[in-house]
Amino acid sequence: MAQIGNEQRPVILKNKKKGNRKLNLSAKFYNKKDKELYSRQITLPEVGEEGQEELNDTGILVVGMGGLGCPVAQYLISSGIGYLTLMDSDTVELSNLSRQPLYSEKDIGKFKVDVAKEKLSQINPNAVINVFSNELNNENALEMVSSVDFVIDCTDNIDSRYVLSDICQSIDKPLIHGGIRAFEGHVGVFLPGSGYYRSMYPNPPNPESIEDCSTTGVLSSFVGWVGMHQSLLAIQLALGKIEESIFYFLDGRKGTIRQVEVSEAVVEKPPELSKSLPDHMSSSELKKRLNSKNPPVMIDVRGLLEREEVKIEATDIHIPMDVFTSRINEIPRDGNIVLYCHLGIRSNAARAWLESQEIPASHLQGGIESWLFEVGM
């Protein structure tokens, strides 16, 4: 069963709704120091104090902390983005240092996300930065994508790129894409209902034809230019300045940018993906159901020590993950059950296994961390 990063890390999952902003735990923006810090961009009429507050209350997932992810994350944090989740399974190598400015020789061998969090926290210590040292895949993508306002694709992995696109498309989550091949770059913003990555590239290329920077080469300044463009689009999207999907080709040799139209999505809702997507429930939705006439049965899949610290329902069923499959007879089969754990990772895996046994179930998105943040005890 899949795991994401280290479940012992404190994570605050953000589920923002426009017009119903929750208390921001990342930064107390309206103090003298922060006003001075962001004064130059607050002066812009397109930003202002209201726009700066919006940036402060935006949660973004950055997948890939290499040549694109480094400048993207730096500019987002420097601009006042309050919630940032970084995901990358790679460790720092010597060849990274020429084009990935967050890292130095002393960081070689360390996980990129851990080093990035340390460096970015020095830029904006008030931001909430969550890190996951795992590769994105079909098993963990939904949980990662669901917990943020939008996603920035900085990965050089073709499989992860299409997984991200399909997941974002299936749950109507905005996606900002970036890619590089030698002196050719492309950047796109894909919004629900106005085209997605498969609109431009319907199918993955033949694996034998895929090239990366180790075979084609790349110039560090060009990588930074593409990443900077991604971050600029992210800021505009967070400020509500982008209303439809857009796509750009960047020519590093000529220094030009060409915009092209994004057609309607080739696959509006990928049927094979939607069938395999796990059912999930937000903390606010779960609270309503627990207070209804037909409350769900809660199943806690955490270990005993975790459970002793805090639990959602005193009368819930406790079936630890390590014995979950052997106690299947204790699980109701009417579909009115909700699984939960610390971050929603183990419960999601348990839910997927139940589905394979034709037992319908839901799981708490973000786990008890999300519950404590949104609902409390």
pLDDT digits (tens, 9 = 90+) for 140-152: 888 889 889 999 9
Q: In the beta sheet, which residues pair with residue 297?
A: 337
Phi, psi of 334 (to 5 degrees): -90, 0
Determine phi and psi for 314, rounding to 5 degrees. Answer: -65, -25
Q: What is the mean pLDDT of residues 350-363?
A: 85
Question: What is the gyration radius of the CA atoms in the chain, in angstroms?
Answer: 21
C-alpha 223/C-alpha 71 separation (Å) is 9
Q: What is the domain partition of the chain in residue ranges?
A: 32-271, 278-374
pLDDT over 80 (residue 99): yes
Q: List the CATH code of the domain at 278-374.
A: 3.40.250.10
Structure confidence by residue, pLDDT tens digits, 259-270? 887 764 333 333
Mean pLDDT of the chain: 81
pTM for this one? Answer: 0.65
Task: Calculate the CA 307 to chain-centre distance.
Answer: 27
Instruction: Let me know if the fold of 32-271 is the same as that of 278-374.
Output: no
Which of the following is catalytic: 70, 154, 168, 213? 213
Higher pLDDT, 45 or 206: 45
What is the rounded average pLDDT of the residues 20-28?
38
- Domain 32-271, what architecture? 3-Layer(aba) Sandwich (3.40)
- Helices 48-56, 220-238: crossing angle, 10 deg rounding: 110
Q: Alpha helices of 85-219 — where are they, by DSSP H?
A: 112-123, 141-146, 158-170, 197-200, 213-216
CB 87 within 8 A of CB 136: yes
Give φ, ψ of 120 to 5 degrees: -70, -35
Residue 227 has a pLDDT of: 93
Q: How far is Cα 273 from Cα 348, in angstroms, rounded to an integer?
A: 16
Phi, psi of 353 (to 5 degrees): -65, -40
**Mean of pLDDT values over 126-136:** 91
Q: Of the given ranges (154-158, 203-207, 301-305), which has the lowest mean pLDDT?
A: 203-207
The answer to whether residue 17 scores a pLDDT higher than 60 is no
User: Is 154 part of the annotated catalytic residue set?
Assistant: no
How much is the pLDDT for 90? 93
Higher pLDDT, 173 or 284: 173
Look at residues 188, 187, 149, 132 and name the one whose alpha carbon lies nearest to residue 2: 132
Select from 75, 26, 74 the least CA-distant residue to 54. 26
Kindly tell me if the per-residue pLDDT of 56 is higher than 60: yes
Q: Both tokens of residue 317?
A: 């069923």
- Helix 367-374 with 283-290: angle, nearest 10 deg: 80
18 confidence band (pLDDT: 50, 70, 90): very low
